[in-house]
């Protein structure tokens, strides 16, 4: 008799103690039980945001991946639902892996599979129980109401083409803005020579897909031809330039096998982007220069929310605040859950670089802190945050008086002996962000990181701290840094630290816990 996987998942969720864990975040999406990783099928339906995600309800006892499902009206409070895609078919019984979603208009849905408004594309994973050999295919599930999900009876819709290994996964689908009535798909892949690439497909009905070939970069002078040994979670999104309004195509992908630099690519696998103009299977006007999206200790596999074609909105990105093979976090043993998502971010471009701002900014009535306008020296506790373990804080420096023409200021999260330090050094030679979690409860190897940026960056820190996860935004969305912070439950709030005399132009906070 076949297992009732949905019943087993519901049982695991119902018996979970995750929500009572003092480390469980208040406004970041986390799993109801077990393990969470890549965001999947992010979409907006009216005034509701839906996030599907890689979900292991039986982790670590059994590594079987479902599509979890949660929704929110404000991007701060998330309601968990039953898993959406269950790995119970011949082509996905080893896991329903990552993918994306489309939100169809009425006329599109009338001709779509199951006449459904919501189409979910994912990778079906099948492993030989003896040899562990993998078979990866791309599959389709549909929903009319985001409560019931039906797999396409003709699955899988795409098999692996010749010339590529079984590392063939993570489909992202979008409308072709240059060819109305058609859809495109990009899939991460590995060539048989063990180099990474992205494959392009085209369809008019979302079921029959024509292979177009590899995504190429004619103006990159070969810089991306053999970058890493596998490209995971590729996505192509049009992002506007803040100054001109001109839209550019941004390729977001995760090239595995990049060597770490002194500054950059220090995580087990990086997540990067490059900018150009997509024409057919070519990303033109792309120099081949890549940049990391997030410089933090934990960040991977981000995805953009899909929208109804008649209801455009800002480009919203959400990422996994985690890394592969790094499940050894305090919450795994104490409460049976691990990992979380970032808050959604609004994406724009400025001078060819991504700008990222939290999609839930401080409200107009956020509390003004007494620090603003007053000189700060040494360490000053932010009394308004005392007793709060989840909060959103904004600090902007007006002046920093020191000797030597430079100055350092920042925050300490928690208290001695367990804390995380965030330091921002401003000088004529550059802006330097240093994050040190060495003394926190989650201090993996290399728990101190430095990021160097332009000296012209606005002297501003925005910090979203949520119990065990912290996101740092420097300047006006110029640098984003995500980390699992894990300061003790009885050590709350933050302290402003400076080695000179700091005057703050603005200081506002929103306690959320």
**Measured CA angle at 480 (ends 476, 481), to 5 deg:** 145
401 vs 353: CA distance, rounded Å: 31
- Of 23, 38, 92, 294, which residue is the catalytic one? 38
* Beta-carbon count within 10 A of 208 CB: 12
Quick check: is 21 catalytic?
Answer: no
Neighbours of 328 (CB within 10 A): 10
CA–CA distances in Å: residue 7 to residues 11, 14, 193, 360, 394:
6, 10, 43, 35, 44
Q: Which H or E element spans position 495?
A: strand 494-511
- Single out the residue of 450, 475, 471, 448 nearest to residue 461, CA to CA: 475
- By C-alpha distance, which of 145, 229, 152 is closest to 188? 229
CB 54 within 8 A of CB 40: yes
Bond preceding residue 198 cis, omega within 30 of 0:
no
Cα 505 to Cα 286, 369, 465, distances in angstroms = 39, 11, 21
Catalytic residues: 38
């Amino acid at each position: 008799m076949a297992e009732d996987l949905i019943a087993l998942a519901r049982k695991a969720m119902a018996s979970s103690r995750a929500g009572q864990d003092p480390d469980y975040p208040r406004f970041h999406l986390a799993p109801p039980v077990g393990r969470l990783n890549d965001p999947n099928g992010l979409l907006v339906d009216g005034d509701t945001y839906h996030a599907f995600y890689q979900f292991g309800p039986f982790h670590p006892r059994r590594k079987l991946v479902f599509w979890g499902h949660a929704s929110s009206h404000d991007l701060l409070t998330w309601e968990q639902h039953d898993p959406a895609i269950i790995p119970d078919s011949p082509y996905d019984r080893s896991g329903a892996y990552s993918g994306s979603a489309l939100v169809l208009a009425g006329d599109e849905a009338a001709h779509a599979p199951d006449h459904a408004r919501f189409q979910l594309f994912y990778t079906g994973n099948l492993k030989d129980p003896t040899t562990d050999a993998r078979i990866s295919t791309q599959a389709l599930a549909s929903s009319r109401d985001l409560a019931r999900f039906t797999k396409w009876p003709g699955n899988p819709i795409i098999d692996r083409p010749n010339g590529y290994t079984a590392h063939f996964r993570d489909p992202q689908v979008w409308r072709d803005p240059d060819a109305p009535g058609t859809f495109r798909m990009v899939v991460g892949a590995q060539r048989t020579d063990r180099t990474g690439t992205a494959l392009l497909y085209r369809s008019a009905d979302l079921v029959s897909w024509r292979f177009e070939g590899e995504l190429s970069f004619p103006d990159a002078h070969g810089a991306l031809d053999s970058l890493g040994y596998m490209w995971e979670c590729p996505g192509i999104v049009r992002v506007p330039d803040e100054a001109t309004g001109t839209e550019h195509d941004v390729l977001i992908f995760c090239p595995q096998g990049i060597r770490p630099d002194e500054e950059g690519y220090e995580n087990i696998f990086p997540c990067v982007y490059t900018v150009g103009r997509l024409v057919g299977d070519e990303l033109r006007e792309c120099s081949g220069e890549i940049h990391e999206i997030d410089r933090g200790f934990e960040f991977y596999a981000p995805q953009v929310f899909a929208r109804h074609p008649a209801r455009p909105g800002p480009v919203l990105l959400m990422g996994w605040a985690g890394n592969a093979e790094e499940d050894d976090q305090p919450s795994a043993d104490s409460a049976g859950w691990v990992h979380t998502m970032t808050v959604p971010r609004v994406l724009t471009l400025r001078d060819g670089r991504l700008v990222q701002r939290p999609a839930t900014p401080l409200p107009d009535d956020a509390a003004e802190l007494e620090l603003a306008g007053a000189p700060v020296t040494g360490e000053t506790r932010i009394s308004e945050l005392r007793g709060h373990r989840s909060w959103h804080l904004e600090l902007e420096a007006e002046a920093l008086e020191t000797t030597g023409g430079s100055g350092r200021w920042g925050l300490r999260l928690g208290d001695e002996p367990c804390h995380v330090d965030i330091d921002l050094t401003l000088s004529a030679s550059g802006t330097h962000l240093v994050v040190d979690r060495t003394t926190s409860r989650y201090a993996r190897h290399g728990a101190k990181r430095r990021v160097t940026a332009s000296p012209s960056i606005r002297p501003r820190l925005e910090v979203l701290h949520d119990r065990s996860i912290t996101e740092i935004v420097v300047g006006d969305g110029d640098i984003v840094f995500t980390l699992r912070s894990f300061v003790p439950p009885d050590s709350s709030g933050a302290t402003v630290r400076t080695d000179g005399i700091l005057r703050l132009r603005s200081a506002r906070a929103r306690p959320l816990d």
